[in-house]
Amino acid sequence: MFVARSIAADHKDLIHDVSFDFHGRRMATCSSDQSVKVWDKSESGDWHCTASWKTHSGSVWRVTWAHPEFGQVLASCSFDRTAAVWEEIVGESNDKLRGQSHWVKRTTLVDSRTSVTDVKFAPKHMGLMLATCSADGIVRIYEAPDVMNLSQWSLQHEISCKLSCSCISWNPSSSRAHSPMIAVGSDDSSPNAMAKVQIFEYNENTRKYAKAETLMTVTDPVHDIAFAPNLGRSFHILAIATKDVRIFTLKPVRKELTSSGGPTKFEIHIVAQFDNHNSQVWRVSWNITGTVLASSGDDGCVRLWKANYMDNWKCTGILKGNGSPVNGSSQQGNSNPSLGSNIPSLQNSLNGSSAGRKHS
Amino acid sequence: MEELDGEPAVTVIPGVNSKKNQMCFDWGPGEMLVCETSFSKKEKSEMVPSCPFIYIIRKDVDVYSQILRKLFNESHGIFLGLQRIDEELTGKSRKSQLVRVSKNYRSVIRACMEEMHQVAIAAKDPASGRQFSSQVSILSAMELIWNLCEILFIEVAPAGHLLLHLLDWVRLHVCEVDSLSADVLGSENPSNHDSFWNLVTILVLQGRLDEARQMLSKEADASPASAGICRIMGDLMRTMPILSPGNTQTLTELELKWQHWHEECERYLQDSTFATNPHLESLLKIMLGDEAALLEQKELLSNWYHFLVTRLLYSNPTVKPIDLHYYAQSSLDLFLGGESSPEPLDNILLAAFEFDIHQVIKECSIALSNWWFVAHLTDLLDHCKLLQSHNLYFGSNMREFLLLEYASGLFAHPSLWQLGVDYFDYCPKLGRVSLELHIERIPLNTEQKALKVLRICEQRQMTEQVRSICKILAMKAVRNNRLGSALSWSIRAKDAAFATLVSDRFLRDYCERGCFSDLDLIDNLGPAMMLSDRLTFLGKYREFHHMYGEKRFADAASLLLSLMTSRIAPRSFWMTLLTDALPLLEQKQVIFSAEQTYELMQCLEDLTSRRPVRGESDIQQLQVIFTSGLMVPHGGGKRLPLSQTSPSLQKHWLLWTHVPLFPLTCVIHTPPSFRRK
């Protein structure tokens, strides 16, 4: 891994989230300065801020892109108790000339009475849906029935989790064998320790979400949660950011005929647990193929976890700050990629083969 | 690259203070975003100088190297050829094919290495020169390792031949001797050249005894005093028994002859024949396989594996593959002599000499910075049926695991991803699903690129990806008001709902502007028309226009009517259709039969009864016209001049005819094709 470029973000306060669009050619950032910025990658590979606007009246925690099948759509959530959906309007020539794009608010979701801590679009096969969760302990699922009219969102489900919610993750599996499923994490730090991860599954018959599982072993505050892309597996993989990084597998137990109406039950196994971040872990996220998990923690590092070909999970990479403030240009390209620049030892021994190893 | 094993690679991000803050991040298809943040501090931060930078992190550096591009491109072809090697082939013909493939891979590495070398020489600043040079040494290491693996695992050379291969291997990779030789021979008096004896020694160390003999004859010519012993030495060199490829002698015969020759050398040593010339005596000791004498030439040997091969040449030329690891380990120990510890390359070669393929691949994964080498080598060794299967849930074996890594790396590059497709194709377990996940993320910035991606998906029956890509493009086109493009993408996506939506847009535009855009597309829908009712209607309505234009009035009339009676026409469009019926009613000949006219009136009634229609007077007038058409079956009689109809009907009329305020009787022969463009 190497730093290919750095871009001056120009937010006036802390950035809370960065988000790539589906193709990796756009990104969005959100900040305590209450704004969201959208950045576009030019053909030459440079990034330009093409929109920046005030989105909320409080810190913006999360920003996320809808699948491009639904157009250019963003959702944000904030301390101001709302979540909002934004759509890019295809610019008049004036805007295009200035390299700016125009985003309009399509809806404000005002159902929460407390800070909205996470917002996630559902997998695209479910249509244009999004889920929010909030400090009041409720997960809300909204749907835009007409994808050409994003001003109409209906609140489809309210799931009470009884604990202040910090994070949600949709199960991305589009297999018919798997019902829609959402995992919810709580960062409630009240002393009466309860399980902090709950999994809800949609029931076709009742048309409601019902609790399928609770991860009893996770009792410390949970800050982030992420289902892995499914890769056609029959089971699910769930990563959790708590006081350490944990990876669980959830194997659906075959339903008996008698209980076919109830939620799926799972065999839950922990397959990895890492405390390398020393203290709290704040974010977990899978790469697009679900083969690498990245986590960010109190040690200030992003760590990459990967299972090798014998299914052993281990840390394969660390992104670490050098501690010194940045100065200099805003766009730094790396024009000299090198083969094995970080492995002087091999070079040394090789130079030995051509130039003679030095011996005393 | 992330290793299979070993310590995690640390990437330092300048300007981020990991002691004070944390990092938020996001994965993209080929890159990662990283940004400094503080998760513990919520709401307003007390004006910390918040991190002003967002960092783009990439995975494989090498994917972006211009020179290595060639390596990736050319090895791709070799890889595909290897996958197609007939599984039926066995024995010698299969082996020779595999060896040829291996040699092809190596020649690609060498070509790349040479190009990199030229670039290194031409580099303007010393820093990039050093960087290119270090890449040359890495490529050289790859070739060195690959070559040894080829000898040991693919050629599987038997005793005797094994040493010949190893000698070639050493000669290929310790090649300073050629320039030295040119240097010495080019001088006025070669035998007086400072490096003369070094050159002779190196030639002997590499078993190039013919060349060594020629050198000695130069010495003999120059100093008659030593001519005699030079000749004796030359004879020893000439008579050393070696296995030549075409020779039919058995190993036992060779060993016997070699023993005899060895004893002869031994006698010359005992006799102190060469005592007067320390250079020659040292050569004799080397030829006797004397370890101490060999180790005195460390500088010339330059590395332990050269020492190993020379040592075997002069002490055990018929070494069996199975005994190699013993000699290798002891040669390494003797050569390093406790002064330095083995380095990654040493361990890789040692693992190869131990025939531990897994260890070779593992160590290479750790030491090399890209997946190219391990992926291709492992694939080749797997084709040699050398890898036991390691069952794992994401990748049937190590081969697939490494190929998936390599192909994923290629997908991070704006054009190399196309090579990655073929690698995924040859990963039986997770190749397809990985390709599905990667290919849908390829940015569709041009139509050409989109079509390329679609072709790849269609060839592999990836229907969901095809649908999704077409849907994305359809949505993009709608947003940009390119309705024709939107319609063709939604047809390709087989997305009925979206085709309906786009058809509605077409109809809406028609009502507003009186003409259709993208006539080529709509007129040539063919069976695609059946995708959605609305699209069918759009196509049929255009057919009506054509029929009218061709003056096939009866056909046009019954089509028009059927569009309403079959309920294919959206109700919102009925007013337009009914108005379209007017000129047909005004024809001289009867076009709508009485029954059809009743049906028309029925439709009109239907429309008015369901919901209030704008323009009550329009309806009334239509009623009047229909009734009069019914009452005057031969088309003559009393007609309502257009100038007496309501303004909104007149407007529609105008669109229809492009002839302003003419009495109906004059208008009736004006076909729809005259509509305003």
DSSP string of A120-176, one letter each residue: EEPPGGG-SEEEEEETTSEEEEEE-S-TT-TT--EEEEEEE-SS-EEEEEE-----T
For B380, residues 6+ apart whose C-beta sits below 8 A from its C-beta are: B82, B98, B101, B102, B105, B154
**pLDDT tier at B630, thresholds 50, 70, 90:** low
Q: Any idea where the domains of chain B sit in the sequence?
A: 1-59, 64-159+355-384, 176-303, 443-609
Q: Is the dihedral of CA B400, B404, B405, B407 positive or negative?
A: positive
Report the alpha-carbon angle B26-B29-B35, nearest 5.
Answer: 25
Nearest to A322 among B14, B40, B51 (CB): B14
For A58, residues 6+ apart whose C-beta sits below 8 A from its C-beta are: A34, A78, A79, A80, A81, A115, B43
Q: What is the mean pLDDT of residues B64-92?
A: 87
Residue that the structure tokens 């609790």 belong to: A211
Q: Which of A33, A223, A289, A303 to mutate to test the interface with B (most CBs of B within 10 A)?
A: A289
**pLDDT tier at B347, thresholds 50, 70, 90:** very high
Share of chain B above pLDDT 90, in %: 43
Query: What's the distance, Cα to Cα, between the start and end of chain B in Å?
Result: 60
| Residue A318 to residue B8, Cβ atoms within 8 A | yes
- How far is B273 from chain A, CA to nearest CA, in Å? 33
Residue B89 scores a pLDDT above 80: no
Tell me the pLDDT of chain B averaged across its residues.
84
CA distance A342 to A346: 10
Contact list, B298 vs chain A (CB under 8 Å): 359
- How far is B588 from chain A, CA to nearest CA, in Å? 47
Residue A340 scores a pLDDT above 60: no
ipTM (interface predicted TM)? 0.89
Residue B650's pLDDT is 52
Residue B341 scores a pLDDT above 80: yes
Residue B529: φ, ψ to 5°: -55, -30
Contact list, B440 vs chain A (CB under 8 Å): 22
Name the burial class of residue B646, with classes exposed (0-12), middle (13-18) and buried (19+) by CB atoms within 10 angstroms of its CB.
Answer: middle
Contact list, B54 vs chain A (CB under 8 Å): 6-7, 9, 15, 18, 27, 29, 39, 47
Summary count for chain B: helices (H), strands (E): 32, 4
Q: In chain B, whose CA is at the least distance from the CA of A11?
A: B52
Q: In chain A, whose CA is at the least distance from the CA of B22?
A: A300
Residue A277's pLDDT is 82
**pLDDT tier at A159, thresholds 50, 70, 90:** very high
B 308-347 residues with CB below 8 A of A? Answer: 339-340, 343-346
CA distance A314 to A308: 8
Spell out the alpha helix ranges (H) of B482-593. 483-492, 496-513, 519-523, 533-549, 553-565, 574-585
Nearest to B22 among A2, A300, A339 (CB): A300
Q: Is the dihedral of CA B412, B417, B423, B427 positive or negative?
A: positive
- H/E element holding B229? helix B227-239
Lowest mean pLDDT among A246-250, B390-394, B483-487: B390-394
Per-residue pLDDT tens over the stretch B107-155: 999 999 999 999 988 988 888 888 888 889 999 999 999 999 999 999 9
**pLDDT tier at B221, thresholds 50, 70, 90:** confident
Biggest CA pair distance of chain A: 81
Summary count for chain A: helices (H), strands (E): 2, 25
- H/E element holding B609? helix B594-610
- How far is A130 from chain B, CA to nearest CA, in Å? 19
Residue B675 scores a pLDDT above 50: no
Nearest to B13 among A24, A315, A321 (CB): A321
Q: Is B302 on the interface with A (CB under 8 A)?
A: yes
Ordered structural domains, chain A, with CATH = 160-325 (2.130.10.10)
Question: Do B579 and B622 meet the contact criterion of CB atoms below 8 Å apart?
Answer: yes
- How far is B589 from chain A, CA to nearest CA, in Å? 46
Number of Cα atoms under 13 Å in the Cβ half of residue B14: 12
Cβ count within 10 A of residue A104: 12
**pLDDT tier at B631, thresholds 50, 70, 90:** low
CA distance B288 to B271: 14
- H/E element holding A283? strand A281-286
| Residue A324 to residue B340, Cβ atoms within 8 A | no
- How far is A155 from chain B, CA to nearest CA, in Å? 23
For A37, residues 6+ apart whose C-beta sits below 8 A from its C-beta are: A9, A10, A11, A28, A29, A30, A49, A51, A52
Structure tokens at B533: 């009712």
**pLDDT tier at B189, thresholds 50, 70, 90:** confident
Q: In chain B, whose CA is at the least distance from the CA of A23?
A: B441
Q: Which of B1, B45, B47, B53 to mutate to test the interface with A (most CBs of A within 10 A)?
A: B53
Q: Is B473 on the interface with A (CB under 8 A)?
A: no
- DSSP symbol at A226: E
Q: Is B389 on the interface with A (CB under 8 A)?
A: no
Question: Do A136 and A112 meet the contact criterion of CB atoms below 8 Å apart?
Answer: yes
Q: What is the mean pLDDT of residues A1-30?
A: 92
| Residue B50 to residue A11, Cβ atoms within 8 A | yes
Question: Do A353 and B141 meet the contact criterion of CB atoms below 8 Å apart?
Answer: yes
Residue B24's pLDDT is 92
Structure tokens at B633: 């079956």
Residue B342: φ, ψ to 5°: -60, 150
Residue B643 scores a pLDDT above 70: no
The rounded Cα B459 to chain-centroid distance in angstroms is 16
Amino acid type, B7: E
Residue A356's pLDDT is 36
**pLDDT tier at B647, thresholds 50, 70, 90:** low
Size of interface A-B (CB pairs under 8 A): 370
| Residue B9 to residue A342, Cβ atoms within 8 A | yes
The count of residues in chain A is 360
Residue A250 scores a pLDDT above 50: yes
The rounded Cα B508 to chain-centroid distance in angstroms is 45
CA distance B368 to B71: 15
